[in-house]
A = this chain, B = another copy of it.
């Protein structure tokens, strides 16, 4: 740090006191427009800007929020983060991004550091372990935490979207097309969201008086680019006598793998099998067969989370007061779903 020029230097140059310079930068009322303009001009000329740490220390806030996510592999995350960062910036906040790797301990270290003066509040897609929940609840008593998921034991506000309605829209769409054998394909790691969507799948088919159930669970060891091979073996293998006519994938990524697997086994989508996903990631619109899926508005998700956080920061909401906001997803019908082949003959 050469070039160090501080508030005192500017004060001296402007011929005012330190406090006045401070007031100029903090948009406070008790300063004349003229003085303020002059000070800002001088600051610009001398390339001065108030030091962030000092300001943070004196104010007891950082104007910075923390974003903690397990990884960025699913395009959903970057889109989500973009929205959060945008909303944060709009309110004068910066965003500290930290990747937990889905690891309890890593997450714990990140949260500790964040909670002690690194950020004013946290938006996170947390790990689902008991230890993680304990930690989040504890951090939430210190600085506000908004989770992008909501599950048992978590005592933090949350913004999420309604999995059940998403699943319902997709299933009703498929059943409406005439499908009676709809399978569910779930990812290797079992998370809360997976169970939630499966439960919805089960119950909604129930309400639609459909008996068929089939849950294909992907093996955990698969190489991310080879998932479709396992999908193929699991579902389309010729020895499988009871192939579903439609497949509800846990998310769009898996759906793409399902389509690829189908193709590899000579099945046409949607002619031989319909496929639907979840999330509407940008790629699903341009996949070889554009994917029918369910869309949650990331912009709104991000904005809502940020707004919830802001209200806690402004003390409009107390830490004991938990808010759970649930957004409604929308069905996006594309070409990967159609009436089952048998019906069309």
For A266-283 the 0/1 string (1 means CB < 8 A from B) is: 000000000000000011
The residue from B52, B75, B112 contacting A116, defined by CB atoms under 8 A apart: B52
Within 8 A of B (CB), among A72-95: 72-73, 75, 77-79, 81-82, 85-86, 89, 94-95
A141 — which chain B residues lie within 8 A by C-beta? 3
In the bound complex, CA of A54 to CA of B51 (Å): 12
Name, among A67, A94, A98, the residue most crowded by chain B CB atoms within 10 Å (CB to CB): A94
Q: What's the minimum C-beta distance from A138 to chain B, rounded to whole angstroms?
A: 8
- Contact (Cβ within 8 A) B51 A116: yes
- Contact (Cβ within 8 A) B72 A81: yes
- Say whether A32 faces chain B, with CB atoms less than 8 Å apart: no
- Say whether A71 faces chain B, with CB atoms less than 8 Å apart: yes
- Contact (Cβ within 8 A) B288 A288: yes
Within 8 A of B (CB), among A24-78: 47, 49-54, 56-57, 60, 62, 64, 67, 71-73, 75, 77-78
- Contact (Cβ within 8 A) B117 A51: yes
- Say whether A220 faces chain B, with CB atoms less than 8 Å apart: no
- Contact (Cβ within 8 A) A286 B116: no
- Say whether A343 faces chain B, with CB atoms less than 8 Å apart: no
- Contact (Cβ within 8 A) A49 B286: no
- Say whether A314 faces chain B, with CB atoms less than 8 Å apart: no
Q: What's the minimum C-beta distance from A214 to chain B, rounded to whole angstroms?
A: 23
Q: Which residue of chain B has its CB nearest to the CB of A79? A: B72
Within 8 A of B (CB), among A86-124: 86, 89, 94-99, 112-113, 115-118
In the bound complex, CA of A98 to CA of B65 (Å): 12
- Contact (Cβ within 8 A) B95 A96: yes
A71 — which chain B residues lie within 8 A by C-beta? 82
- Say whether A228 faces chain B, with CB atoms less than 8 Å apart: yes
- Contact (Cβ within 8 A) A257 B282: no
- Contact (Cβ within 8 A) B288 A260: yes
In the bound complex, CA of A47 to CA of B138 (Å): 10
- Say whether A285 faces chain B, with CB atoms less than 8 Å apart: yes
Q: What's the minimum C-beta distance from A119 to chain B, rounded to whole angstroms?
A: 8
- Contact (Cβ within 8 A) B117 A54: yes
A19 — which chain B residues lie within 8 A by C-beta? none
- Contact (Cβ within 8 A) A57 B57: yes
A138 — which chain B residues lie within 8 A by C-beta? 47
Q: What's the minimum C-beta distance from A60 to chain B, rounded to whole angstroms?
A: 6
The residue from B62, B113, B260 contacting A286, defined by CB atoms under 8 A apart: B260
- Say whether A170 faces chain B, with CB atoms less than 8 Å apart: no
Q: What's the minimum C-beta distance from A222 to chain B, rounded to whole angstroms?
A: 12
- Say whether A256 faces chain B, with CB atoms less than 8 Å apart: yes
- Say whether A224 faces chain B, with CB atoms less than 8 Å apart: yes
Please give the residue numbers on chain A whose beta carbons come within 8 Å of chain B beta carbons, in ascending order. Answer: 1, 3, 47, 49-54, 56-57, 60, 62, 64, 67, 71-73, 75, 77-79, 81-82, 85-86, 89, 94-99, 112-113, 115-118, 138, 141-142, 224-225, 227-228, 256-257, 259-260, 263, 282-283, 285-288
Given A86-B99, A89-B98, 5 more A-B residue pairs with CB atoms under 8 Å apart are A52-B113, A53-B117, A54-B57, A95-B98, A259-B288
